[in-house]
A and B are shown apart, each in its own frame.
Chain A
Amino acid sequence: MLLVVVLALGLIVADARFDKLAVVRSTLATGLTPVYWLGNAPTQFSDWVGSLFVNKDDLKRDNDELQARLLILERRALKYAALASENNELRRLMNSSEVLDDRVIVSEVVSVSPDPFAHELVINKGRSDGVHEGQAILDAGGLMGQVIQVSQITARVLLVSDSSHAVPVEVVRNGLRAILLGTGKANSLELVHVPDTANIREGDLLVSSGLGGRFPRGYPVAEVSRISKEPGKPFITIEATPTAKLNQSRMLLVVFQALVPDNKRSENQLEPEKGGTSAGNRLQEER
């Protein structure tokens, strides 16, 4: 008994303080994949049964709606291609290698954290799909969180609402930068260290600023929902509502950033032309 307790204490210290056990954890997690799969099976089964009994009218209506939506989106995409090419051209003129588009893969949520006090998800893409720690996760509405742990075919995602999570953001309207913290509540985030003379209002959209190099720039994260000024305090209290549906979305996007920031910098220093041409190539591929 004593032996086990000492062993366990050793494990805890090694894992929590020194991060030595990532390999062990990821191997065990790979071995536990059947458990994740089983845990998700009831939901998938009910989805499947639900999809068996759909009547023709519903399908027809869905189809019509999707067609209409597709048309609208296609029109936007046309416009977007033109804008993107123009943007890339301008960036090339300015000698910057930053590319607008990031590559994404679609993944599905297979499990949520069993701990009610941790905001985490497990998705069905892992190392074998090229996912690595620190990648940003999006849903249709905006930034969801980041990958914190990867096994062979699953990955664990920390949501922006977890109380240990922070995102560097900026206000779209005027570029004011701040840090957005999770509060442990799914529908409320907190913007910290904003001085009370700052130009910020309710309804302002906050997008990731890309500072710190972890999150890609320009994805919507939250909308300011409440601002309260307390006289005598140097900072104002700002609450924000995440734009992503943190506890509803099931299809998520894993973002692969076009270039790792360090490479980008060295590339820029060595051959300033190269970034621009690769951006041009990318664009041609898209067309």
Chain B
Amino acid sequence: MLSVISYPVFALSVLLALTLSIAPVPSGWLEFRPEWLALMVFYWTVRAPAQFGVFLAAALGLLLDVLESTPLGVNAMAMAVVAFLVLTVHQRLRMYPLPQQCAIVFLLLGINQMLVHVIKQSLGADNTGFGYLWPALTSAVVWPFLSLVLDNINRRLG
């Protein structure tokens, strides 16, 4: 299994994820936008658990907070939780077949989204039902392609 990583690829993928998470999309698709940054945190923590940890995840979450203008720290905490959970299961996770990996992605990103929305609602946002779980589902669908592409690039350059 892959364990080399290339730092330029890491920086670029994070920049791309940040861009994608604010890029304009047709209005009906907005609530299905995958959680790109959380996916990146997930990928890099699985691939490089030694280099990529809770603190870096929190820092990236902070950037997302600024982009989404949520109270600073909401996404930071949610990302840190994702990174922490991935760190605890990453050795098993590497052995899982793809469908099972997707299920884990859905689970962890769902936890991420729930945390974000629980905090937002406790600070006074509207309660919008379970619609906020869609991004977790679309992220799980995107995961196989994303991991394939990033693995290939890492193998070439890392």
Interface residues of A (CB under 8 A from B): 1, 4-5, 7-12, 14-16, 21, 24-25, 28-29, 32, 34-36, 38-40, 42-43, 111-118, 120, 148-149, 156, 163-164, 184, 247
* Cβ B73 vs Cβ A25 within 8 A: no
Residues of A within 8 A of B126 (CB): 117, 163, 184
- In the docked arrangement, what's the CA distance between A130 and B20, Å? 29
Q: How far is the CB of A116 from chain B (nearest CB, A)?
A: 4
* Cβ A15 vs Cβ B72 within 8 A: yes
* Cβ A149 vs Cβ B24 within 8 A: no
Query: 12 A-B Cβ contacts within 8 A?
Result: A1-B80, A7-B58, A21-B72, A28-B66, A35-B19, A36-B22, A39-B19, A111-B22, A111-B24, A116-B30, A148-B69, A247-B27
Is the CB of B144 closer than 8 A to any CB of chain A?
no
Residues of A within 8 A of B68 (CB): 113-115, 118
- Give the size of the chain B interface in residues (CB under 8 angstroms): 38
* Cβ A4 vs Cβ B22 within 8 A: no
Residues of A within 8 A of B69 (CB): 113, 118, 120, 148-149, 156
Residues of B within 8 A of A115 (CB): 68, 70
Nearest opposing residue in chain B for A186, CB measure:
B27
Q: How far is the CB of B154 from chain A (nearest CB, A)?
A: 22
* Cβ B72 vs Cβ A32 within 8 A: no
Count chain B CB atoms within 10 A of each CB in A5, A29, A120 and give the residue with the most: A5
Count chain A CB atoms within 10 A of each CB in B68, B71, B119 and give the residue with the most: B71
- In the docked arrangement, what's the CA distance between A61 and B15, Å? 43
Q: How far is the CB of A91 from chain B (nearest CB, A)?
A: 40
B48-69 CB contact bits vs A (8 Å, 1 = yes)? Answer: 0000001100100111001111
Q: How far is the CB of B125 from chain A (nearest CB, A)?
A: 7
